[in-house]
Structures are given as structure tokens and as C-alpha cells.
């Protein structure tokens, strides 16, 4: 990519716009998905499996897409991901049985995994090391805003027909795909791909599990574990929040959607306005550890909330921590990835997906024991992440100091 394009904000803005549209499409279905599958006679366990199979397909395919983006460029993979996601949403809208619902989630997870790691690699291509945190924050803000706006629109559309939100989601992804084809520039040109390929020529292509195992022993290995912890905590929260508030406070989907809307706006503001400044001033290390602590506190306080205002306040606190954590962690990983942005971001997405698989499954199991256990367990996971991160950072400093 030329210096003029790399220094321009236009590609990042276009990519953020595409991600915003897709996240609106995803967010549309959040408040009404339990009601949608209910018409097929499905239960909460089936809902959990639908969430898990989506994440599992992301886990399986993200590294493949990431490596492919290092070979053919970012733009083709972003486009494929968008159109594939659109097809999956159309299938869900016209599903006439559980088989089609699972087919839709399988396709959505497969093609969605092409989009996310490639988008993060794209941001790495078009930003300098100093502005990497800011770039990740802007992308995260666009995604967060889409997730925020989506549930409100989905709840409104569902009043006309439960399948309408899924149709709109498919149309939104199609529009984003067309924008990518017509306007989005390629961030990783062929000459740069060929040059970087020489650095890894002859490298053996192992299967994903071997690649993940090797990645855990690499400089980014511990950070990938943190990605799993982060995604586990967020999936743990999101998967059970609607059932939690319905059973404890008797909330309806519109009230749940309103809470998601407000706390999502908080997260969007944090990612768009604060992450870049905080990482620049304090560094990714301090921001990541602070975010883990804030998220843990938010989890615990959620179990103590007594009404709408306190539910809103405590969920905002949790989202504040998570909104600081994700882009800061992505920026940290990107700086250690070097020329392997596509591969590493694909691995990033795989560990993210593993957390998204484990979180809903365990949350559902714990919820049946006691409705508070999912959030208390989530707090323990975040605190564990904080402790091991402190240990890792201290070890990293002692290894670097003798050579400095």
C-alpha cells in the first residue's frame, strides 16, 4: 500500500462502515432470537447450541482465512465474508425447520470468520505502530455501535414479523459487500505479499491445532490465552443476560434491548474516544490489566443489582472494562505479530471463538444451578486473567532487562 493511502483515514473509515453494517445485522437478532426459535419448539439448550456452532465454525476456519489473506490480500476475504454472511442470514429468515437454522449458523460462522481477522489485519496494514491502538479502537467503536443500534431496530422490526430482522441483516451485509467491491482499496498489495512470503518460504503448513499449540509458545501465546478469557467472559454475559433479567426482574425483550443499547453506547464511546489515548499514554499493558479488574468488578456487582437503574449501572461498568480490553489486547498482539498479521489475527479469532463456544455452554449449565453463578464464575475468570497477566508481564520485564 502506498504511503499516501496508508496515511489516509479513508480506508479505515470505509472498513469501519462495513463492519458497522454487519454488526447492525448481527445485533438485529439479539432480542428476538429466543422467540424466533421457540416457534420451532426449541428450548434454551438449542439456542445455546446455535450460538456454539456459530463460534465453533469460526474457530475452525479463522486461521485458514487469515493465512489466505496473507496470500491473496485482504479485500477478497472481506468481500467473501460479507456475502457469505448475507446468504446465511437469508437462509435463517426462510428456515422451515431446525436443520435450516443450524445450516445458517454453520455458514455464518464459516464466512464470518473470514471477515473479522482479515479486518484486524487490514487495520494493521493501514496504521503505524504508534497509531495501532487508535485504529483498533475506531474499528471496535464501529462494531460496538452496530451491535448497539441493531437490537433496537430488531425489536421494532420483529413487531411486524419475526423473520424480518434476519432479512434486513442479509440485506445490510449485501450492501457492505458491494461497498467493499466498489470502493474499499486493497491494503496488502501483491508486491508486499511476495516480499513477506520470501520470509516464510518453505515453512511447513501444520493443521490448526498444531499451529495453535505452536502459537501458544510464541511471543503472542499468552496474549492469545487472554483473548480466550476475554471472549469467555463476554459470551458468558451475553448468552444468559436475557434469561437472567427475565427470571429475576421479569423484563421483556424491549427492556433488555434498551439496556443493551445504552451500555453499548458507553462501550462505543470508550473504544472510539478513550482507547487510543489511554494506550498511547499508559501503554497496552496497563490498559489491559485495568480492564480485567474493571470487568471482574462489574460481574460481581451485577448480582447485587436491585432494579433497572442499578442493572444499567453495573452492566455499564462491565462493558467499560470489556470495551477497554478488546482493542488494547488486539493492538498488543498486532505489535508482536510482525509481518504475520493475517495468520496471527486468524489465530486471535480462533481463541476468541473458543471462548464464545465455552462461555454460553457453561453459562447455561451454571444458570440451572443458580442464576448468579454464571456472573460470579465470570468474575473469577477475569481475576485469574489479571493475576496471570501480572505474572507474565513481570517475567517479560526480567527477560528483557539484561539485554537492555
Those residues with Cβ within 8 angstroms of residue 318's Cβ, 6 or more apart along the chain or in another chain = 237, 263, 294, 295, 298, 299, 302
Q: Do residues 362 and 240 touch, judged by C-beta distance below 8 A?
A: no
SS3 8: coil
Q: Which three cell numbers stand for residue 242?
A: 436475557
Q: Do residues 355 and 232 touch, judged by C-beta distance below 8 A?
A: yes
Q: Do residues 25 and 85 touch, judged by C-beta distance below 8 A?
A: yes
Distance CA 404, CA 397 (A): 10
DSSP letter at 97 equals: S
pLDDT tens string for the chain (404 positions)?
545 445 556 777 778 877 887 778 777 776 677 677 777 877 667 777 787 788 888 778 877 887 788 888 888 888 999 999 999 999 988 988 888 989 998 998 898 888 877 887 788 777 776 676 777 777 777 777 787 778 777 777 877 787 888 898 899 889 888 988 888 888 777 777 666 655 555 455 556 667 666 767 666 777 888 888 888 887 878 777 777 877 788 877 677 777 877 887 787 787 777 777 787 788 777 888 888 899 899 889 999 998 888 999 998 888 888 888 877 777 777 776 666 666 677 677 778 778 888 888 788 778 778 889 989 998 998 898 889 888 887 887 776 555 44
Nearest to 261 by CA among 205, 328, 316, 223: 316
Distances (CA, A) of 324 to 19, 133, 140, 327: 19, 11, 10, 7
Distance CA 10, CA 127 (A): 12
What is the per-residue burial (b if ≥16 Cβ within 10 Å, else e) of 344-383?
Answer: bbbbbbbbbbbbbbbbbbbbbebbeeebbbbbebbbebbb
Q: Which three cell numbers stand for residue 129?
A: 505502530
Distance CA 252, CA 266 (A): 22
Nearest to 280 by CA among 69, 123, 132, 124: 132
pLDDT score recorded for residue 341: 65
Q: The pTM is what?
A: 0.69
Those residues with Cβ within 8 angstroms of residue 108's Cβ, 6 or more apart along the chain or in another chain = 54, 57, 84, 85, 88, 89, 92
Residues in the chain: 404
Question: What DSSP assignment string belongs to 224-238?
Answer: HHHHHHHHHHHHHHH
pLDDT score recorded for residue 63: 74
For the chain, the helix, strand and coil percentages under 3-state DSSP, each to the nearest 5 = 85, 0, 15
Q: Which three cell numbers stand for residue 258?
A: 434498551
Nearest to 78 by CA among 41, 112, 46: 112
Q: Grid cell 498511547 — which residue? A: 280
Q: Do residues 223 and 329 touch, judged by C-beta distance below 8 A?
A: yes
Amino acid at each position: 500500500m502506498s504511503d499516501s493511502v496508508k496515511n489516509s483515514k479513508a480506508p479505515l473509515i470505509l472498513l469501519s462502515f462495513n463492519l458497522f453494517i454487519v454488526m447492525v445485522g448481527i445485533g438485529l437478532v439479539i432480542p428476538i432470537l429466543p422467540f424466533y426459535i421457540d416457534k420451532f419448539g426449541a428450548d434454551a439448550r438449542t439456542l445455546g447450541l446455535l450460538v456454539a456452532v456459530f463460534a465453533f465454525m469460526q474457530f475452525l476456519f479463522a486461521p485458514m482465512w487469515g493465512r489466505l489473506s496473507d496470500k491473496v490480500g485482504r479485500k477478497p476475504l472481506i468481500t467473501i465474508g460479507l456475502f457469505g454472511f448475507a446468504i446465511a442470514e437469508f437462509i435463517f429468515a426462510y428456515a422451515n425447520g431446525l436443520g435450516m437454522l443450524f445450516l445458517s449458523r454453520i455458514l455464518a460462522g464459516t464466512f464470518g470468520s473470514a471477515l473479522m481477522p482479515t479486518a484486524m489485519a487490514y487495520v494493521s496494514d493501514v496504521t503505524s505502530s504508534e497509531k495501532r491502538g487508535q485504529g483498533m479502537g475506531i474499528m471496535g467503536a464501529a462494531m460496538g455501535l452496530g451491535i448497539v443500534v441493531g437490537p433496537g431496530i430488531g425489536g421494532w422490526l420483529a413487531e411486524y414479523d419475526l423473520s424480518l430482522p434476519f432479512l434486513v441483516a442479509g440485506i445490510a451485509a449485501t450492501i457492505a459487500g458491494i461497498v467493499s467491491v466498489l470502493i474499499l482499496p486493497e491494503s496488502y498489495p501483491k508486491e508486499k505479499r511476495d516480499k513477506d512470503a520470501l520470509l516464510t518460504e518453505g515453512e511447513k503448513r501444520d493443521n490448526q491445532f498444531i499451529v495453535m499449540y505452536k502459537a501458544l509458545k510464541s511471543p503472542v501465546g499468552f496474549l492469545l490465552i487472554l483473548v480466550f478469557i476475554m471472549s469467555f467472559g463476554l459470551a458468558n454475559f451475553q448468552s444468559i443476560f436475557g434469561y437472567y433479567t427475565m427470571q429475576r426482574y421479569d423484563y421483556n425483550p424491549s427492556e433488555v434491548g434498551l439496556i443493551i443499547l445504552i451500555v453499548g453506547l458507553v462501550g462505543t464511546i470508550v473504544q472510539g474516544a478513550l482507547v487510543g489515548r489511554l494506550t498511547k499514554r499508559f501503554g497496552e499493558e496497563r490498559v489491559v490489566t485495568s480492564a480485567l479488574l474493571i470487568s471482574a468488578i462489574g460481574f460481581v456487582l451485577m448480582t447485587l443489582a436491585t432494579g433497572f437503574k442499578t442493572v444499567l449501572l453495573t452492566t455499564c461498568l462491565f462493558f467499560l472494562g470489556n470495551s477497554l480490553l478488546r482493542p488494547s489486547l488486539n493492538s498488543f498482539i498486532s505489535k508482536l505479530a510482525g509481518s504475520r498479521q493475517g495468520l496471527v489475527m486468524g489465530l486471535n479469532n480462533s481463541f476468541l471463538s473458543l471462548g464464545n463456544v465455552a462461555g454460553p455452554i457453561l453459562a447455561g449449565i451454571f444458570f440451572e444451578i443458580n442464576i448468579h453463578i454464571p456472573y460470579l464464575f465470570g468474575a473469577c475468570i477475569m481475576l485469574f486473567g489479571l493475576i496471570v497477566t501480572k505474572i507474565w508481564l513481570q517475567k517479560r520485564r526480567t527477560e528483557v532487562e539484561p539485554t537492555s
